[in-house]
Amino acid sequence: MLGLWLAAGFAQAATPYEERLGAGGGWRPPVVGRGDAVSAYESGRFATALRLLKPFAEAGDPDAQLKAGRILGGLGEMGVGAERVPKDSGAAALWLGRSARGGNAAAMREYGRAAELGEGMPKDLVLAFRSYAGAAQKLPEGEGKAAALADALRLKPEAARYAAQFPAGDRQAQSLAAALRWTEGAAQASGVTSATGPELRR
C-alpha cells in the first residue's frame, strides 16, 4: 500500500503544475515548488514560468531573478500562444540588476550588456565595466569567463577615465582601480583581448 502511495506521489510530481491543478477532482498542491517554475522555464512555458518564478524572485532568489530577467528581456517572446511574454526591457534590467547584486555571475554579464547598450536603463559604461569584470571573476572557465573578461577589457579605457576624476584615496576610485588592475592582469594571464562592439553580439 505504501509503495502504491509513493509511486502515485512520484508520478504526480513529474507532471506539469497546470495538469496537477486540474487532476483529482480539483486537488491543488499546498505550495508551488521551485521545481515547477524551473520546469515551466525549461520547457518554454514562459508566461507560466514568470508567474511561478515571481514569488521566488521577490524573495531574493538570484537564479529566479535571472530567469525572470531573461524572460522579460526577450526570451519570453519565443513562447507559443498564451505562453508568450512581451519584451519589457525596463523590468528585465531591474531583475537582472537584483540578481547581479545577489552575486549571480551570469546575471552580472547580462546586466553589463544592458548597461552598455542602455537597454531598459540609462547607458552607463562604467557600470557595464564593473558588471563584466565581476562576472569574469566569478564565472568558471568555459562558461563565458573569457567573453566577460574581453567585454570588461573593451570598456577599460572608459572606466580608467572615470576613475581618474576622483581624488586619491576616494573609496569608489580605489574599488574601480582594483577592478581595472584585476582585469588587466587576468587578460594578460589568459591571453584575452577585447571583444567586438555589443552591436555585433546581439
DSSP string, 87-131: --HHHHHHHHHHHHHTT-HHHHHHHHHHHHHTSSS---HHHHHHH
* 117 lies in the same domain as 53: yes
pLDDT at 19 over 50: no
Torsion angle, alpha carbons of 200, 93, 165, 152, to 10:
-40
Residues 44 and 104 in one domain: yes
Tell me: do 41 and 99 sit in the same domain.
Answer: yes
Answer yes or no: do 148 and 163 share one domain: yes
Domain boundary among 67, 94, 123: 123
pLDDT in tens, 111-142: 999 999 999 999 999 999 999 999 999 998 87
Place of cell 526577450: 74
Full-model pTM: 0.78
Average pLDDT, the chain: 83
Q: Evaluate whether residue 144 is within a structural domain.
A: yes
Show the domain range for 119: 18-123
Residue 147 and residue 118 share a domain: no
53 pLDDT exceeds 60?
yes
* Residue-wise pLDDT tens digits, 157-172: 999 999 889 887 888 8
In the listed set 100, 123, 146, which residue is the last one of a domain according to the structure? Answer: 123
Report, as an integer, the average pLDDT of 34-51.
Answer: 92
**In this predicted structure, what is the pLDDT of residue 191?**
86
Q: Is 98 within a domain?
A: yes
Shared-domain flag, residues 156 and 133: yes
Is 149 found in the same domain as 88? Answer: no
Q: CA 184, CA 176: separation in Å to the nearest integer?
A: 12
Structural domain ending residue among the three candidates 69, 96, 123:
123
- Per the CB < 8 A criterion, the answer to whether 103 and 87 are in contact is no
Residues 148 and 81 in one domain: no
- The candidate with the shortest Cα–Cα distance to 79, out of 36, 46, 49, 53, is 46
Residue 182 lies in a domain: yes
Residue 4, in any domain of the structure: no
Residue 83 belongs to domain with CATH number: 1.25.40
Tell whether 69 and 110 lie within a shared domain: yes
Amino acid present at 72: L
pLDDT reported for residue 195: 65
pLDDT, position 49: 95
Do 44 and 133 fall into the same domain? Answer: no
Q: Which amino acid is at 171?
A: R
- In the chain, the number of structural domains is 2
In this structure, what C-alpha cell is assigned to residue 36? 515547477
Distance CA(18)–CA(23), nearest Å, equals: 9
**Is residue 101, in this structure, part of any structural domain at all?**
yes
Question: Alpha-carbon dihedral of residues 159, 160, 162, 165, nearest 10 degrees?
Answer: 160
Query: Is residue 85's pLDDT more than 80?
Result: yes
Residues above pLDDT 90, as percent of the chain: 62
Phi, psi of 164 (to 5 degrees): -70, -15
Note whether 53 and 132 are same-domain residues.
no
